[in-house]
Amino acid sequence: MKYRLQFNPAEVAYKPQLFTDAIKILVSVNFGIYILQSVSGKEDVFFRLFGLVPSTFISDLMLWQPFTYMFFHAPFYSSVGISHILLNMLGLWVFGRELEKAWGKTKFLRYYFTTGIGAGLITYFFQMSSDNPVIGASGAVYGILLAYGVSYPNRILYIWGLIPVRSLWLVIIMGSIAFFGLLGNADGISHVTHISGMLIGYVLLKKKWRWRDIWFVIRKKTIEFQVQRYEEKSIKKKMLQKDIDVILEKIQKVGFSGLSDKEQGKLYEASKSMSRDGQKD
């Protein structure tokens, strides 16, 4: 995506720079990891360990995944191919350089990782039962796109080097594509991650947050979720125990052979479940 800058009286002039410090680091790390995963030929292993797998992220305590998923991209032999990482890094380079110069390296990196990690966590809550790894820097890149459009709404960008569009309208177009893609959600793209990156970016830009407040909210929600999971397991365990007691009483009266196939199966599954719980404890 080529672009030309348009300067308005109310906007500060900008001298282009090929690579700013944070952009250089992020692009280098992403391409370095992409080369590593491609050479290894073990993409599935990498994606299971370091991609965001909603169904096992919490249960297997892989708490690093909302951070590491941003650095892995679709393999070159997939239907998406190398365009996945190329488009993400191009978007980061085009929209991120000016933001980094305006904000500074530290603030830029903080915003980038907050939108990326936040988008991953929201994706988890929307796709908790999914076993498909979520990978790519798109959540953070969409956050960067949103920040660019809000900060410099009248900049003229050229899509495919031909179609001029103001940056704010580009944000609206990309957000709309992600939204309608979310309604369909049958193309293998995690549109919820894209929208989440934009929403988190908007909240960060429009409201001054302190890291202590953000950390408090994250811990509060995590504890609430753990308590809810514990209560659900406790209720399920009590109901299971109640069913077992009924079956055991029947065994005392008519013997094991007097149980129906369904009752025998339920007793077997209950014993396996209680055995697993005992091993975890």
- Top CATH class of 21-209 equals mainly alpha
Q: Looking at residue 118, what is its pLDDT?
A: 93
E strands of the chain, at which residues? 156-159, 163-166
The mean pLDDT value of the chain amounts to 79
* The pair of three-digit structure tokens given for residue 137, joined into one six-digit string: 């820097």
**Any idea which of 44-58, 172-186, 197-211 has the lowest mean pLDDT?**
172-186
CB atoms near residue 264 (< 10 Å) = 13
Name the residue ranges covered by the structural domains of the chain.
21-209, 226-280
Question: How many DSSP H helices and E strands does the chain contain?
Answer: 10, 2
The neighbour count for residue 141, using CB atoms within 10 Å, is 28
Q: How far apart are CA 132 and CA 31, in angstroms?
A: 23
Higher model confidence: residue 271 or residue 21? Answer: 21
Helices 83-103 and 138-151: crossing angle in degrees, nearest 10, is: 40
What is the DSSP annotation of 235-267? Answer: HHHHHHHHHHHHHHHHHHHH-GGGS-HHHHHHH
DSSP 160: T
pLDDT in tens, 229-254: 777 777 877 777 777 777 777 777 77
Q: What is the pTM of this model?
A: 0.66
% residues pLDDT > 90 (the chain): 26
Give mean pLDDT, residues 49-63.
Answer: 88
pLDDT, average across residues 42-69? 89
Question: pLDDT for 136-174, tens place per residue?
Answer: 899 999 999 999 988 888 888 777 777 788 888 888 887
- For the stretch 193-220, pLDDT in tens is 888 898 999 888 887 656 566 667 677 7
* pLDDT recorded at residue 162: 77
Contact 68, 117 (CB under 8 A): no
Over the Cα atoms of the chain, what is R_g? Answer: 25
Query: Of the candidates 232, 247, 251, 241, which has an alpha carbon nearest to the alpha carbon of residue 274?
Result: 241
